[in-house]
Structure formats: C-alpha cells, structure tokens
A and B are shown apart, each in its own frame.
Chain A
Amino acid sequence: MESITGLILAKYNYWMYISLMMVGLYAMIAKNNLVKKIIGMNILQTAIILFYISIGAKKGATIPIIMHSEGHGHEAVHAVQYINPLPHVLMLTAIVVSVATLGVALALAIRLYARFGTLEEDEINDQVREAP
C-alpha cells in the first residue's frame, strides 16, 4: 500500500500530461471542424510544455536566479539549490513556436473559410472532389 501511494505521488504528474496529450491528439485526429483541430494541437503543445517544465523541478529548490549582492561577491553556487533552467529555456522557445503556428493555422483557416464557406473538413473534401 505504502509503495503504491509513493508511486502515485512520484508519477501522477506524468499521467496528467499523458491524458492531456491524448485529449489533444484525439481532437486533432477525430474532430471534423478545423478550429477544433487547431485547439487540439494547442492542447497537445501545452501538455508537452508542462511535461518539460515538470522535468525541471527539484524538491526543495528555488527559481534559477542566483542570489547576489553588490560589492562583496557571492557564495558558491550549489546546483541542488536551484531548479534546472534548461527545460525552462527550451519551453520558452516552444511557447513562441506554438504562438507562431497558431497564428499561421488560424490564417490558413480564414483563407479556407473564404474559399469554401465552411470549416468542416468533410464538406471541404466534398467540394474539392466535385470541382476538379
């Protein structure tokens, strides 16, 4: 019993991200509406960002901003005291990429709507097949 609660406490964050990722993946594959697909893509990206951020966590550590004071130097820095900055840096850029992809995806959706008058994927497919 003890080991099972320990296991859940140590791993439940990953399971959250897996379920979020599956929600996003399902929306991207199964939904018919293009805007819902875009929302699914964003949920998937968010899940991955959260996953990386949780990798960076350390128990009992603080944010990666080194304590410093003007003039009389600073104490030796121990890596154990600060959480891992690398996942944060990587995800900072990933967030920017997700904003960029979201913008381009929405622009494409607007163009498709102007061309076909609908955002439902099957209706667009029908129209494409009818007009060779």
Chain B
Amino acid sequence: MLVHATLDFPGWGDPNAPAHLHVAPEYLEQAYEKTATPNVVTAVLADYRSYDTMFETAVVFSAGLACFFLLRVQSRKKEEEEEEDRYFRHLATDMVIRIRTPSMHVPDSPYLQQLDPYWTPRSLIVRAACRVLTPFIQLFALYVVAHGHHSPGGGFQGGVILGASLILVALSHDLRTSMKMTPEKLMGVLSPAGVLIYAGVGALCVAAGHNFLDYGALAEWLGTAPEAARSLGILFVEVGVAVCVMATMIIIYANLSSAGGHKQGL
C-alpha cells in the first residue's frame, strides 16, 4: 500500500517537487540578507524556527531529568539501605583492603584508590590514546559550535561532540574518574542553564521592546547592524543549546552505564 502511494510522489531530486516551492525558496533567498548567516540551516533553525529549537532544548533537558529520576533517585535509596563491600588499593604497596562495615568512613586520600569489584582496567594503550585524543575532540567541538554560521555545524552537533569526548574519558578510564572531572551537580546545573541562556536571550529581546527571540532587538546594545545582531543572537542561543546538550549527554550516559549508581561504568 505504501509502495503504491509512492507512485504519486515526486521523483528523487526533482527541483519542482511541492516541498521546494512554498516557503523554502524564501528562506534560501532571504536568509543571508536578513540574518547575515550563510548557513541557511542554522539561520532557519535558530532564527525563523527559534521557538521550535527552544522547546527542543527543553525536551533534551527533560530527557536528562527523566533518566535522573528513574535511575539515580531509586539507587540512592538502595545505597543507603544496603552498602556493598568496598575495596581500596594502596598505591605504594599494591595491597588491597576490603571494608565490610558500611558505616565506616574512608577519607579521600591520594594514597588510596577505590576499586570496583567487577570492573577491569583498560589497557595502557587505550587509555593513553584516548587521553591524547580527548583535547582535540573538544577543540573540534568548540569549532563546530562557533563556526556553525559558515559551515555545517551548530549547537546540537557541537554539544554532542563535546559530550562524546567526556564519555570517551569515562569509557577509557573509569566512571569514577570522569565523574570527578564532570561532577554530577555541575552537570545538573549546566543542563537547565543551557535552556535558561536560550530563554534569557529571548527575554532580552522582549526587554528591548521587540518580540520574544527577535534578535534584531539586540542591535542597539551590541552596537551593530540588525543583521549582524541576528547572527550574534543565533550564536548565543547555539551556545546555550550546546551547553544543555553536553550536560544532558553526560547525565544520561552516567546514569545508564551504571544503572544510577555512578560507581562502576561499562
């Protein structure tokens, strides 16, 4: 039935297909003049359809929130009830200590390393290669965010690459190390902060007397032409999107890989 329906579809790559005839040519022909953003996809995403993208960011945030509540909250309760045996390795002597009393507090010390009962260390080559690669991946992610106006890229893509570079740390070392680098609380603040940056830029436009998310309003404060202000406004909201996506990726990964325990990852 679906195959039969395709007989009425326009052929592949047909420039006169109905999808290309209504609003799309206007975007293509006017986006550069009105927003000074050569990448039309970015211009449409963050300017013409900025409400859509703002709530998209909110969807990402609420997905991270859902993972947190589904996995993390439950496992915290369980953690309080039954504490498993904990293992510590003394780095100088390589002795391993097992602690069976849950109430005993072990202070953080540079001489002791907490071990996970099931987790096995990665090989040195994998760890070293990932350590060298990670900063370059992060630099590329920042480039993708900042250069999204002139080349393929933008907030979502850059945020995902940034999040993936931090997940690579968690995969190549262990989850404990990566949770020290990206603390849960910081990520929990950054994720809604991204949405707030986006909505805040919109609110600034209202404060300047224009419509919500009408970046042309920022021209006076930035001291530029309205077109350039639109371009900068797009950059601001893309940064907000990137921050939110990165934090949410890490929250989702950390909760999924350890079933909410944040102890031993994959």
Contacts and interface: CB of A to CB of B under 8 A. Distances in A.
B175 interface: no
A37 B62 CA distance: 22
Interface string B1-14: 01100110101111
A106 B67 CA distance: 9
Interface string B224-255: 00000000000000000000010000001001
Q: Which of A13, A15, A85, A108 has the most CB of B within 10 A?
A: A85
Contacts of B128: none
Contacts of B255: 107
A45 to B, nearest CB: 14
Interface residues of A, number: 53
Interface stretch (B16-24, B86-94, B134-142, B211-219): B16-24
What size tier do the contact residues of chain B reach? 35 or more
B217 to A, nearest CB: 23
B222 interface: no
Contacts of B150: 65
Interface stretch (B37-45, B103-111, B187-195): B37-45
Interface in A63-94: 63-68, 74, 76-80, 82, 84-89, 92-93
A104 interface: yes
Contacts of B60: 96, 99-100
B11 A10 contact: yes
B152 A111 contact: no
Given A59-B13, A96-B56, A106 B256 contact: yes
19 contacts: A11-B6, A15-B3, A59-B14, A66-B39, A67-B38, A77-B28, A77-B32, A84-B20, A85-B27, A85-B40, A88-B41, A92-B45, A92-B154, A93-B52, A103-B252, A106-B256, A107-B66, A107-B71, A111-B71
